[in-house]
């Protein structure tokens, strides 16, 4: 039984590492066979309930999770995604920020930095878990247009991640 567990653990740990993430932990195609999350309801920065599907781009959705709004690393990453957003849209991807902050905190963060992105609140980490992310960690999930998670990036650098990820998505 122990051999089976070790082999299973080894197989689960094998994944693709993006070329741009030299020191990154492996990305995983976690939940690739999961049901669509498009009907999942979330609360945006305005306190409005929306579905994941309503946030989708033509090709998919990038959900970057950050630990806390208006902190240095989270601000750099969020501003980077906001600046790179036209490139994501051009490639058919929408980008959404996710944290455990309240909608009011998300709204203040968005307004302060003039972010063009939708920010969603996940106070209990339920969406993060459904996406295959560890709640409250800086990680990213990529969903295809059908709302299925196709990739989870467990380790990112806040400054480089927005520009590097769009390059990776367009390969």
* Catalytic residue IDs: 74
Distance separating alpha carbons of residues 47 and 49, to the nearest angstrom? 7
Distance separating alpha carbons of residues 80 and 60, to the nearest angstrom? 19
Distance separating alpha carbons of residues 152 and 168, to the nearest angstrom? 13
Strands 41-44 and 118-121: antiparallel
- Residues whose CB falls within 8 Å of the CB of residue 125, separated by 6 or more in sequence, listed in order: 100, 135, 136
- H helical segments located in the chain: 2-13, 52-55, 72-90, 103-113, 126-131, 161-169
4: its two tokens: 């089976």
């Amino acid at each position: 039984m122990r051999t089976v567990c070790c082999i299973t653990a080894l197989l689960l740990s094998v994944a693709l590492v993006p070329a741009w993430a030299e020191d990154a932990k492996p990305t995983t195609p976690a939940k690739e066979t999961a049901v669509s999350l498009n009907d999942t309801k979330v609360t945006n920065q305005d306190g409005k309930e929306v579905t994941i599907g309503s946030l989708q781009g033509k090709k998919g959705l990038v959900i970057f999770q950050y630990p806390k709004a208006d902190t240095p690393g989270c601000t750099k990453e969020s501003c980077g995604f906001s600046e790179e957003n036209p490139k994501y849209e051009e490639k058919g991807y929408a980008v959404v920020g996710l944290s455990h902050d309240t909608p009011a905190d998300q709204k203040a963060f968005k307004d302060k930095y003039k972010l063009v992105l939708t920010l969603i609140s996940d106070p209990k980490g339920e969406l993060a878990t459904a996406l295959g992310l560890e709640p409250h960690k800086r990680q990213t999930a990529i969903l295809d247009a059908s709302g299925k998670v196709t990739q989870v990036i467990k380790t990112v650098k806040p400054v480089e991640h927005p520009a590097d990820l769009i390059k990776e998505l367009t390969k």
